[in-house]
Chains A and B, each alone.
Chain A
Amino acid sequence: MLRTLTARCLLAFLLLEILFAPLVLIAFEQLIGIEGYAPAHWLLASAAILKALLWGPFLAVQLKPYERFKRLPASARSPSVVNQADSALQALSYRFGAFYAISWVIAYAVIAALLLILGAEHLPNGPRVVEAVLLLLGGLGFGSFAFGFPLIGMLSANAASECCAFAVKHGILLERAPKSLQVRIGVVAIALALGPTLWMTALGYMKQVQSSQDLRTLAAELANARLSALVQDSLARDKPRAALQTLVEAASQAPLKSFVLVPDGTTIAADGDAQAAEQDHELRDWTKAHKARGNFLLSRLDLARIATLERLSTGYAVLTVLDAPVSVPRGFGLSAAIFVLVVGIWAPVCALILSRAISSPIERLTRAASLVVEEGELSKMGALPVEQSDEVGVLTEKFNDLMNLMRSLSQAAQGIATGDLRVEISGTGELPNAFRSMLAGLRDIVAQIGETSVDLASAAAEIFAASQEQESAAASQSSAMVEISRTMDSLSNSAAHVSDAVQGVLSNAERTLKNTDEMVQRIGQLSSHAGRIGEILEVIRDIADKSDLLALNGSLEASRAGEGGRGFALVAGEMRRLAERVTASVQDVKKLVYDIRESGSSTVMATEESRKLAEGTTEAARQITFVTQQQRSGTEQVSQSVKNIADVVAQAVSATSQTRTSAQSLKTRADTLASIVRQFRVNETKAA
């Protein structure tokens, strides 16, 4: 809950309210004389709580921009958000100080009004309390402002610093209107002076009123006692009623009015006073209520008269009325007004003097700092005078030390600027150490630049010589590249001729392959026919075999027939021999057919070989064509690359020429740099 600034501020003011509010309440009750009136306590406590409850919403509204700034991540804080938060914090002291004072004034004004309206009879000081309350409200207003204004400023100081640090870190320009420290001190001083002054004036006023009341009471009681003694004495001497009338008239000298209350109910009074007393209903009722019970006093600030009643032992009662209102001496009002006026003038004057005493050295420091920061006039500025040994004096001394340090550093920087690196930096701290480090670094850099410039001049000379050699080599290379380009063109043309020739070979090989396929097909058909012939020959052989058997069996039958079968035996023998010859011929033909089929198979195999050769030739021709085309393409690419290389070499020749010129210029500049470095004055031992 206390993570927000609003909550922290509210808690601080509530804690202080718990400490101070009871004291203020008691003082207020004492001042207006209602310390014994219980409802007044509750009214005052309720008003104090209500007043404190208003601070929370007011702080929440006023600090809303800052709380938004806190809630947002750093990356989402826009310049407008930061400025709004900072503006709210800058205005918070005046706004909340005023609201805090007004809340006090309104709370007690309302309480006083309620008490005057609803419970006037409980205000012993009567109407006179209004003036005192007005003075008291003034004192409360100024006093609470003098308390709330610096306190809220102190509570929000860290938040304002946070906003400022964030703005500086992120390069955001804060739109802060300039404010005067003197005005702030003056405002607080006036509030501090007028608050207690008005409070004490109210207190003095009430004391004056009380004194006047006491005088009135004393005068009334004294007159009543004197008349009571005379009446008692007259009654003891049995004087007539006329004597009592004389005593009453003698005592009734304005502003006193005296009455003797006779036991028979009549009243002895001076001329005209009886009627006036009769018309005063409060006095009449009060007299009736108290005349039989002893001595009583009717005395209030709000009453224009004071009445005192003393009952005598004889049953008579003496009533004396002092008809004179409470009055404050004119001198008090005048002196109080003068006092308030004097304090009202004296306080700001004193505050002005005090603030000027504080701010004048600060202004001198500010002017000096502006002179250094904005105009850089460090040498013209002398040491600032130290008037006091307080915090401002110490600040001035430290400022002078800082200026001395800046001056010595400035002189050292001027020496360095002129090339004198032998200067020594005195002092401790980050800035002198940084200067010393910078000076040491400069010495090293100058030494290194000196060495480098020499090396650079030497390298430039070498580059110049190398560039000359490279230029002539590049020129030779360029002419060689032109020759290579021509050769590559010739190669490309040859590859084109080879490609055309191989295309013819490929065509012939493909035709050979086609013819071979046809030949294989024909030989296959021939082999098929030979197979068919073999089958027919087998049939013939079978027939011949069967004829042979028939002839043999015929021969057998002829032999059985004897001489009659001799002729048949001859026929059978011839037939067998015929069959034998047929069989032999069939065998010959089969052998021939076999030879044909064998030849066909051999031819097919040879043709297959031939086909494979044709296929190989075709594939080889295709590959040769492909390779030749690739060779032609590659040759063309190489030719193009050689041309490009020739162009690059030509450019390299030009670039080398430029490099040679640049190397010459570089050497000149390196010599110049070496001469510049020699202008720096460095201690020989340190440089070494």
Chain B
Amino acid sequence: MSVPLLPIRIESEWLLIHANLIQEILGAQPWLSIPHTRRELPGVVAWRGRAIPLVDLGAVLGLSALASKLSRPRTLIGQVDGGFLAVPVDEAREVQIFTADQIRVAHAVPRPHSVSEAEIQGLVMPILELPSLLASLTHSHLVAPEA
């Protein structure tokens, strides 16, 4: 069984995202800030005539959050549970195909919403579980927005 993973970089941090969740990779996209929202979901992005939530992985990973009206060079359009979301990243590489044995349980550096990891050219990258992330963000968002 092969697993396609998309390497992305947030600042100096390399991550892997399941490529089958990504619908499209765009350049830097403008986004609209929404007040009184969590810092991981700071606003929305216009995509194909609709507004989709913006997920700031920098805030999620404890790195620097997006500043207002600034974006990252690449914007990933993902689809989770029938919903779309936009994930700005600093860099993306071509999809890498991994076998099951190449994916192992995360042990190097624990990352939130990451339970496994893979190695590309000697660099171990955690695999971000986007549905888990979105679920936690959506649930938390409904319970208590960030003060």
Contact = CB atoms under 8 A, between A and B. Distances in A.
Contacts of B92: 552
Nearest to A573: B94
Interface string B63-103: 00000000000100000000000000000111101000000
A528 interface: no
Contacts of B26: 549
Given A556-B6, A559-B19, A560-B20, A576 B27 contact: no
Given A545-B27, A549-B27, A556 B19 contact: yes
A527 to B, nearest CB: 29
B95 A569 contact: yes
Nearest to B23: A556
A556 B95 contact: yes
Interface in A537-593: 545-546, 549, 551-553, 555-556, 558-560, 566, 569, 572-573, 576
Contact of B97 (A545, A559, A572): A559
B20 to A, nearest CB: 7
Contacts of B25: 549, 552-553, 556
A572 B94 CA distance: 7
A673 B26 CA distance: 133
B4 A559 contact: yes
Q: Nearest 5 pairs between A and B by C-beta?
A: A559-B4, A555-B94, A573-B94, A559-B95, A555-B95
Contacts of A558: 95
A553 B76 CA distance: 10
Contacts of A572: 94
A576 B93 contact: yes
Given A556-B19, A559-B4, A569 B24 contact: no
Interface in A69-114: none
A559 B5 CA distance: 9
Nearest to B92: A552
B75 to A, nearest CB: 10
A559 B22 CA distance: 11
Nearest to B27: A549
28 contacts: A545-B27, A546-B27, A549-B25, A549-B27, A549-B74, A552-B25, A552-B74, A552-B92, A552-B93, A552-B94, A553-B24, A553-B25, A556-B6, A556-B24, A556-B25, A556-B95, A558-B95, A559-B4, A559-B19, A559-B20, A559-B95, A559-B97, A560-B4, A560-B20, A569-B95, A572-B94, A573-B94, A576-B94
B49 to A, nearest CB: 19
B103 to A, nearest CB: 15
A566 B25 CA distance: 19
Contacts of A559: 4, 19-20, 95, 97
Contacts of A569: 94-95, 97
A581 to B, nearest CB: 14
Interface of B: 4, 6, 19-20, 22, 24-27, 74, 92-95, 97
Contacts of A553: 24-25
A309 B6 CA distance: 208
Interface of A: 545-546, 549, 551-553, 555-556, 558-560, 566, 569, 572-573, 576
A556 B22 contact: yes
A558 to B, nearest CB: 7
Nearest to B93: A576
A121 B94 CA distance: 188
Contacts of B27: 545-546, 549
Contacts of A546: 27
A560 B6 CA distance: 12
Residue of B19, B26, B95 with most partner-chain A CB within 10 A = B95
A569 B4 CA distance: 11
Contacts of B22: 556
A551 B94 contact: yes
A51 to B, nearest CB: 141
Contacts of B24: 553, 556
Contacts of A552: 25, 74, 92-94
B99 to A, nearest CB: 13
A587 to B, nearest CB: 13
A549 B89 CA distance: 13
Contacts of A555: 6, 19, 94-95
A558 B92 CA distance: 16
A553 B19 CA distance: 10
Given A552-B74, A556-B25, 17 more contacts: A545-B27, A549-B74, A551-B94, A552-B93, A552-B94, A553-B25, A555-B95, A556-B19, A559-B20, A559-B95, A559-B97, A560-B20, A569-B94, A569-B95, A569-B97, A576-B93, A576-B94
A545 B74 CA distance: 10
Contacts of B94: 551-552, 555, 569, 572-573, 576
A406 to B, nearest CB: 135
A556 B96 CA distance: 10
A227 B22 CA distance: 215
Contacts of B19: 555-556, 559-560
Contacts of A551: 94
A552 B6 CA distance: 9
